[in-house]
Structure 1
Amino acid sequence: MLNPNFISGAINSLVPISRFNKGEANKIFEEVRESGFKIVLKNNIPTCVLLTPEAYEQMLETMENYRLLVEAENRLENAKGADFVPSEQAMQELGISEAELKEVEVELE
């Protein structure tokens, strides 16, 4: 059975385009700021989605992270033993010492 909160949220996210024609754009934009998004209907068909800038940025970041995940999985799936280099060899080729690595501060997100 569908969650009643989900159904209520979905219904509340719908905005008929006629509300824009009635001069309610500012009110709709405030609703978008409060809820994060609205789906605009034209002739009862979803026409566009209004998002807050934060929701849009989050969506783009999620899509980029997914693209990178797929790329990494494909690389691992197609990798051969010869594709890998021991860290000691890579550090030597790049001229990096163990002491230099210990001095570097790394911040992970």
Structure 2
Amino acid sequence: MNGNLKILRSLINEIRHVAKEKKMKDNIMVQYILEEAKKHRETSEVLCKAREELKSMGENYLCYLESQRKYNEIRTQYAGKGDRSVKETADLVGFKLPHDPK
């Protein structure tokens, strides 16, 4: 359960980045995740449901949320802003122009 708790915390942290509500307990996504975690805990002990199901689902959702956040950050950083000068383009990709001091 320790690994599952870490995944749950990470999921809530990622939801916090995109959530409009200030309190996470009011967020419907967080409520759903916590309810599913409680259901899984009860069924895995009583009915011997696959113990890794919650972990794998949580890891998949966490990967999706992190990827979406990183994609949006990269897209806003490198989005086309029309024509750029040669210096701006060189700075963007990490090059120096020949007349710049080294």
TM range (shorter): 0.3 to 0.5
Task: Report which of the two has the higher share of strand.
Answer: 1
Give 1 or 2 for the bigger CA radius of gyration. 1
TM-score by length of 2: 0.34
Give the structure, 1 or 2, with the largest relative contact order (CA under 8 Å, sep 6 or more). 2
Task: Report which of the two has the higher share of helix.
Answer: 2
